[in-house]
Amino acid sequence: MTSLWWYLARSSGIVATVLIAATLGWGLIFSARGTGRRLRPAWWLDLHNWLGGLALAFTMVHVVTVVADSDLGIRLVDVIVPGTASYRTMAMALGVVAFELVALVTLTSWRPLKARLTLRVWHAIHLASVPAAVLTGLHAYQAGTDATRAAFKLGLAVLAGAAVYPAALRVLGLRRSRPA
């Protein structure tokens, strides 16, 4: 049964990493107003929110399965408080902070909570998605059991590029907004 937990932890972590990068990239493209004319911006925003919710759900599955895997010896406190794990302490701390940032960004985007925040505060919180994605990638690379495999490294590089490209478009202003 412990190998089942290990496979679930491993696969949910990989899926969560992909979803976090996809959510970040999609959000950066959407916020740059590079949505084009054929798609309604509301559709893009809904997809971004859906990806963010899925990313949080898979991250939570990853956390639960890591704790459930008795071979790892990871306790509940280790996935809540950074730096308390005896297993790959730095990698675990990065993962804990990434999880907390993903949860913060996703939950404050939930309509009832977002309505209580000013746009400036919400935006400041939402910018935490960038370091959350970076920390997620570092956590995957340092703690992942597949980190030494070429396919994993290539996949992580592709994910990083998929998130960095829209960020570069946004920051450098290479993409012009199109009228709706």
pLDDT number for residue 175: 46
In order of 35, 144, 170, the CA distances from 179 in angstroms are 10, 44, 17
- Is residue 14 in a domain? yes
Residue 64 lies in a domain: yes
Give the per-residue pLDDT at 152: 84
Evaluate whether residue 154 is within a structural domain: yes
Give the C-alpha separation, 88 to 134, whole Å.
18
Q: Measure the CA–CA gap between 85 and 99, rounded to whole angstroms.
A: 15
What pLDDT score was predicted for residue 117?
93
The boundaries of the domain holding residue 70 are 2-172
Give average pLDDT by consecutive 10-residue segment, the chain, 180 residues: 82 93 86 60 85 96 92 89 85 94 94 91 92 92 83 86 76 55
pLDDT at 149: 87
Question: How many structural domains does the chain have?
Answer: 1
